[in-house]
Amino acid sequence: MAKKTRSKKRVSHLQAVDGTHKGSFPSSKHKNEDWHPLEERIDGRRDQRYVKNIKPRSEGQKILIDSIKTHNLTMAVGPAGTGKTYLAIAAAVEALEEERVERIILSRPAMEAGESLGYLPGDMNEKMAPYLRPLYDALGDRLGGKRVKHYMDDGTIEIAPVGFMRGRTLNNAFVVIDEAQNCTYVQLKMLLSRLGWHSTMVVTGDPGQSDLLDGMSGLGDIAARLEKLSNVAVVQLESGDIVRHPLVAEILGVL
């Protein structure tokens, strides 16, 4: 009986802290100007165990890490679970901490993958936060939540939809273009031409998981064209490089 009482108290406490019930989205009534996708009350625990060093867990990952270090432009193409995004962000954080770049810019196409984000409360940043969560998670693992929030507040780390990249020249930056399979040929061409002096760009994506209509994704075509350039690394990851649950590779092999 005592255990049940403590459990109920714990649930009530968590609901009071989070302001939600059963995983529902926060009400717009609780919205405030200090909102941030990496609030200390949620992600402060990351500061106690953030990852300092990473090691490749497959030959494909080793090739990708080495390619990022030796090329200004790397295309990481492969199935889900191969660590494309995580390794790219890890390399970006390493470059920032070693002062080889002044800022990190992470970009994703604003593709909703079948869901509608318009009903969510808040401004654009709040609406995009659930979709950008994988980027926040990778950054939090590498830096800790507080440092990520600080870097985002002062502009050292910027996360922007693809549409906000047009017309910019990205100097002294580490740029990661994630989920590039949801970019058209024209969009990817525009993004690649943003690369400035003393900058590194990594483009990640899985041509087999595009949410665009058939034939609209430009990732496969552009990767094939850039593979001919000696100064561009195109790394093709395979199912053997998947580092999630072993069942993921089996599932993707039959679907």
Beta 157-161 vs 173-177: how paired, if at all? Answer: unpaired
b/e burial code for range 137-176 (CB count within 10 A of at least 16 → b): bbbbbbbbbbbbbebbeeeebbbeebeebeeeebeebbbb
Task: Return the pLDDT at 189.
Answer: 95
* Tens digit of each residue's pLDDT (9 = 90 or more) over 227-237: 999 999 999 99
pLDDT at 145 over 60: yes
Domain definitions of the chain by residue range: 36-254
* Tens digit of each residue's pLDDT (9 = 90 or more) over 46-66: 555 555 677 899 999 999 999
Mean pLDDT of the chain: 79
Give 37's pLDDT tier (boundaries 50, 70, 90): low
Q: Is the pTM of this model over 0.85?
A: no
| CATH 3.40.50.300 holds for 36-254 | yes
Q: Which of 59-68, 97-106, 161-170, 177-186 has the lowest mean pLDDT?
A: 161-170
Give 137's pLDDT tier (boundaries 50, 70, 90): confident
Residue 43, number of CB atoms within 10 A of its CB: 20
